[in-house]
C-alpha cells in the first residue's frame, strides 16, 4: 500500500484539478488559439469570452434564476424540515421512529425514475416553467439530508434549555423559534449549504421542468449553448467556469461545515 500511495494520490489530484485548469486557461483563448494550440498558455489574459457570454447570452438571467431558486429552496427547506426535525428529535409519540425512517429512506430512491409523475404534477398545477415549481422540487430533493442533519444537531442540544422556557410558560412554537433555532445555527448552516449546492448544481429537473429562458438555471446553460454556440469553444469554456466558480467559492469558504454536513447527512450505519 505504501508503494501505491503517492502514485495513486497524485493521479487523483491530477484528474481532480488539471481538467479544470485547462478549461480555465482555454477560457481566455480565442477560438483560433484553441484550435491551433490546445495545450499552450493563452497568448494574452483576455476576458473577451466572459464579456461576450455575459452580455450577448441570457446567462445573467440564468444566474438570477439560480440564485432565487436555490436560495428559495434553501429557505423553505430550513423552515419546513427544521420544524419536523425538532418534533422528531424531541417529542415522544408512537410511530416516531418509523416516520423518521420512512422520511429518510427517500434518500435511497433513484429520483431519475420519478421524472414523469413529477413532470406531470408540475404541468397539471401550472408550475411548469416557473421558478416556484423548481423551488418546490429542490425543496423536496433536500428532504432526507436536511432532516437527518437537523435532527442529529437537535439531539446534541441539552433538553434543559427548553425545559426552563416551558416552565416560564413559553409555547412550543416560541420555544422552537426563539430558543432552539438560535442555538442550532451550525446545524442549520450545514443543512443550508448542502441544500443550496444541490439546487444550484441540479441539471435534470431544470432540464425537464423549464423551456425558454424564463426559469432556466445556470447548469442548463451548457446544454443551451451546446446547440446555440456549438463552435464557439471559448464561450463554452467561459460558461463552464462561470457555472463552477460560485460552487468552488462556497466550498472553499465553508469547507469544514460542508464536510461535517456530508458526514452527518449520510445515514451512517
Partner 1 sequence: MLLFLFPTAAVFTLFYAYPLVNVLLTSFTDWKLTQPPVFVGFRNYVDLSRDGVFIASLVNVLKWLVLSWTVYVGIGILTALMTAEETGFNRIFRVIYLIPNMISIAALAMTFYFVFQPTFGVLNSVIRAIGFPQFNKNWYFEYDSAFFAVTATTIFFAGVIMLLVSSEVSSVPSSVLESAKIDGAKRWQRNLYVVLPMIRNIIGSSLILATVQVLKVFEVIFLTTRGGPGTQTMNLSLYLYRMALTSYQFGYANAIGTVTIVIGLIAIMAINRIFRMGSSHEV
**Rounded to the nearest whole angstrom, what is the least distance from the CB of residue 182 to partner 1 in the complex?**
18
* CA distances, 31 to each of 35, 97, 125, 133, 149 (Å): 6, 58, 45, 38, 46
**Rounded to the nearest whole angstrom, what is the least distance from the CB of residue 9 to partner 1 in the complex?**
6
Q: CB nearer to partner 1: give 215 or 236.
A: 236
Instruction: Count the neighbouring beta carbons within 10 Å of the beta carbon of residue 255.
Output: 11
Cell digits of residue 236: 463554452
Report the distance separating Cα 195 and Cα 152, nearest Å. 16
Q: CB nearer to partner 1: give 22 or 47.
A: 22
Report the distance separating Cα 178 and Cα 209, nearest Å. 37
Report the distance separating Cα 67 and Cα 235, nearest Å. 22
Please report, in angstroms and rounded to a whole number, the separation of the first and last CA atoms in the chain: 27
Q: CB nearer to partner 1: give 51 or 105.
A: 105
What is the sign of the dihedral through the CA atoms of 76, 77, 79 and 80? positive
Q: CB nearer to partner 1: give 16 or 55.
A: 16
**Rounded to the nearest whole angstrom, what is the least distance from the CB of residue 26 to partner 1 in the complex?**
8
Q: CB nearer to partner 1: give 13 or 51.
A: 13
**Rounded to the nearest whole angstrom, what is the least distance from the CB of residue 189 to partner 1 in the complex?**
16
DSSP per-residue letters across 26-66: HTTS-HHHHHH-TTSPPSS---HHHHHHHHHSSHHHHHHHH
**Rounded to the nearest whole angstrom, what is the least distance from the CB of residue 35 to partner 1 in the complex?**
5
**Rounded to the nearest whole angstrom, what is the least distance from the CB of residue 3 to partner 1 in the complex?**
10
Q: CB nearer to partner 1: give 38 or 64.
A: 38
Amino acid at each position: 500500500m505504501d508503494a501505491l500511495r503517492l502514485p495513486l494520490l497524485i493521479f487523483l489530484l491530477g484528474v481532480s484539478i488539471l481538467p479544470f485548469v485547462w478549461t480555465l486557461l482555454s477560457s481566455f483563448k480565442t477560438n483560433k488559439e484553441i484550435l491551433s494550440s490546445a495545450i499552450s498558455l493563452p497568448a494574452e489574459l483576455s476576458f473577451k469570452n466572459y464579456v461576450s457570454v455575459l452580455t450577448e447570452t441570457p446567462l445573467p438571467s440564468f444566474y438570477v434564476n439560480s440564485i432565487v431558486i436555490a436560495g428559495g429552496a434553501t429557505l423553505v427547506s430550513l423552515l419546513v424540515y427544521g420544524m419536523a426535525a425538532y418534533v422528531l428529535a424531541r417529542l415522544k409519540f408512537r410511530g416516531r421512529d418509523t416516520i423518521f425512517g420512512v422520511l429518510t429512506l427517500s434518500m435511497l430512491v433513484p429520483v431519475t425514475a420519478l421524472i414523469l409523475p413529477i413532470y406531470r404534477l408540475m404541468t397539471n398545477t401550472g408550475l411548469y416553467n416557473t421558478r416556484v415549481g423548481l423551488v418546490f422540487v429542490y425543496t423536496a430533493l433536500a428532504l432526507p439530508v436536511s432532516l437527518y442533519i437537523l435532527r442529529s444537531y437537535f439531539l446534541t442540544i441539552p433538553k434543559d434549555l427548553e425545559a426552563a422556557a416551558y416552565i416560564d410558560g413559553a409555547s412550543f412554537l416560541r420555544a422552537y423559534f426563539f430558543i432552539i433555532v438560535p442555538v442550532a445555527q451550525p446545524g442549520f448552516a450545514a443543512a443550508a449549504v448542502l441544500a443550496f449546492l444541490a439546487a444550484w448544481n441540479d441539471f435534470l429537473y431544470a432540464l425537464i421542468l423549464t423551456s425558454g429562458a424564463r426559469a432556466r438555471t445556470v447548469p442548463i446553460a451548457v446544454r443551451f449553448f451546446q446547440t446555440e454556440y456549438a463552435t464557439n469553444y471559448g464561450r463554452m469554456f467561459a460558461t463552464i467556469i462561470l457555472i463552477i466558480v460560485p460552487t468552488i467559492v462556497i466550498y472553499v469558504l465553508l469547507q469544514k461545515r460542508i464536510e461535517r454536513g456530508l458526514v452527518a447527512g449520510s445515514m451512517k450505519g
